[in-house]
């Protein structure tokens, strides 16, 4: 089981969005994926994955890696992209033992 969130990076001229999903597993592993999202008038959404999960040892590192990938994919939109950090998870609590 993992926790996930979505953060918008940019809205394109056609109204679609580039979003980043940040995930944290119970084991404390972090990964991000990029999606394009289309939000319908009834607030339903359709997502298309743009990149596979980009992993790192920390949440911020995973987000920075995914942001770098987004800059490569959409170089003309870099100036308008929201930069990290996004929602940061510290990972699961460490149990004293």
Query: pLDDT tens digits for 31-49?
Result: 899 999 998 889 898 999 9
pLDDT of residue 89: 59
pLDDT on residue 72: 96
Token digits of residue 87: 């929602």
Tokens at 50, concatenated? 């743009």
Work out the percent of the chain whose per-residue pLDDT is above 70: 86
> For the residues of 56-95, what is the DSSP string, one character each?
ESSHHHHHHHHHHHHHHH-GGGGGGSPPSP-S----SPPP
Give Dmax over CA atoms of the chain in angstroms.
53
Enumerate domains of the chain plus CATH numbers.
2-80 (3.30.160)
Which residue stretches of the chain have pLDDT < 70?
1-4, 88-97
Average pLDDT of every residue of the chain: 85
CA gap 80, 89 in Å, rounded: 25
């Amino acid at each position: 089981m993992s926790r996930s969130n979505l953060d918008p990076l940019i809205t394109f001229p056609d109204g679609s969005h580039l979003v980043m999903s940040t995930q944290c597993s119970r084991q404390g592993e972090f990964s991000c994926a990029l999606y394009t999202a289309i939000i319908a008038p009834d607030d339903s959404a359709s997502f298309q994955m743009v990149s596979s999960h980009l992993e790192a040892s920390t949440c911020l590192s995973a987000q920075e890696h995914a942001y770098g990938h987004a800059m490569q994919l959409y170089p003309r939109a870099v100036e308008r992209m929201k930069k990290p950090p996004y929602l940061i998870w510290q990972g699961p609590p460490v149990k004293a033992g």
